[in-house]
Amino acid sequence: MAIVKITRTKDFVVDAAAFILEQARKAIAERNEFRIALSGGHTPAPVYAHIASGTRDFRWESVRFTFGDERCVPPDDPQSNFSMARENLFVPAAVPQKSIMRMRGEIDPQIAAQQYTQQLDAIAAGRGESIYQHDLILLGLGDDGHTASLFPGTAALEETSCQVVANFVPRLNAWRLTFTFPLINHARQILFLVGASKDPQLIERVLERDQQFPAARVDPSAGEVTWIIEE
Ligand code: 6PG
């Protein structure tokens, strides 16, 4: 079971940005690369903006951005997680295109998921890894306990081999692209970013590992899980 660290803070944006940049500096110092998966939704947007505002001369060429999930929409769609990251981080911080691996939400979901998996596999193979290992995966917490696009009762929860899948979410009547638990649980570090609007009872039940909630099934075998929870 992973080591879990919990920080409750009124300085959510500053503390979350500091944590992420600390992990980046450590990874670059140790391995000359920082592999981070961004989460979507609303909570991370001000954290990304804060990172962009304080990293004028950051070595973005040493960072590889992936996405833990994506809506099946074009990259310019306001619903797109890529669009949110581009607006709040990539453009203001002048992150080079080659540092960004976008999930192609605009094409057939099954093909997009296969392509993303192949991209991750190619990089992993180049590093002699059996599966791509993220230094840090950012995750949010949905009101139903979902994380990434691993929603309760959906097929992707049971995926044990594919790293990225297309997942139909009946509640949204929409397809999503998402990391699966095998990929998530292979990360060195997980950071859950949880805003003050989230139900404290839900947070507690997930922290108690109530398996009915997908977020409670995040348990990196050789990694750490940090929760930064806004008070
Ligand atoms: C997404 C996210 C999703 C999100 C939670 C919380 O694509 O929506 O990846 O898992 O993190 O739904 O969303 P909020 O931050 O908007 O509350």
Are 140 and 44 in contact by the 8 Å Cβ rule? The answer is: yes
Q: Which atom of ligand 1 is nearest to the CA of 149?
A: 10
Are 183 and 170 in contact by the 8 Å Cβ rule? The answer is: no
Residue nearest to atom 7 of ligand 1 (CA): 40
pLDDT category at 40 given cuts 50, 70, 90 is: very high
**Confidence at residue 138, expressed as pLDDT on a 0 to 100 scale:** 98
Are 173 and 74 in contact by the 8 Å Cβ rule? The answer is: no
Domain range for 174 is 3-230
CA distance 60 to 100: 10
pLDDT at 82 exceeding the cut of 90: yes
Residues contacting residue 97 through CB under 8 Å, at least 6 positions apart: none
pLDDT tens-digit readout, 110-155: 999 999 999 999 999 999 999 999 999 999 999 999 999 999 999 9
* Class of residue 123 by CB neighbours under 10 A (exposed 0-12, middle 13-18, buried 19+): middle
With a 6 Å cutoff on the Cβ, whether 145 touches ligand 1 is no
Residues in the chain, overall count: 231
Residue nearest to atom 5 of ligand 1 (CA): 142
pLDDT tens-digit readout, 6-28: 999 999 999 999 999 999 999 99
With a 6 Å cutoff on the Cβ, whether 191 touches ligand 1 is no
Our count of domains for the chain comes to 1
| 24 φ, ψ (degrees, to nearest 5) | -65, -45
For residue 218, give the CATH number of its domain: 3.40.50.1360
**Confidence at residue 2, expressed as pLDDT on a 0 to 100 scale:** 86
**Confidence at residue 209, expressed as pLDDT on a 0 to 100 scale:** 96
pLDDT category at 3 given cuts 50, 70, 90 is: confident
With a 6 Å cutoff on the Cβ, whether 178 touches ligand 1 is no
pLDDT at 54 exceeding the cut of 90: no
**Confidence at residue 97, expressed as pLDDT on a 0 to 100 scale:** 97
Among candidate residues 163, 141, 160, 161, the one with its CA nearest the CA of residue 151: 141
With a 6 Å cutoff on the Cβ, whether 140 touches ligand 1 is yes
The number of angstroms, rounded, from the C-alpha of 112 to the middle of its chain's C-alpha atoms is: 17
Rounded to the nearest whole angstrom, what is the distance from the C-alpha of residue 41 to the centroid of ligand 1?
4
Considering the chain, what percentage of its residues have pLDDT values greater than 90? 95
pLDDT at 56 exceeding the cut of 90: no
Residue nearest to atom 8 of ligand 1 (CA): 41
Among candidate residues 229, 180, 215, 224, the one with its CA nearest the CA of residue 22: 224
pTM, to two decimals: 0.98
pLDDT at 198 exceeding the cut of 90: yes
CA distance 102 to 51: 19
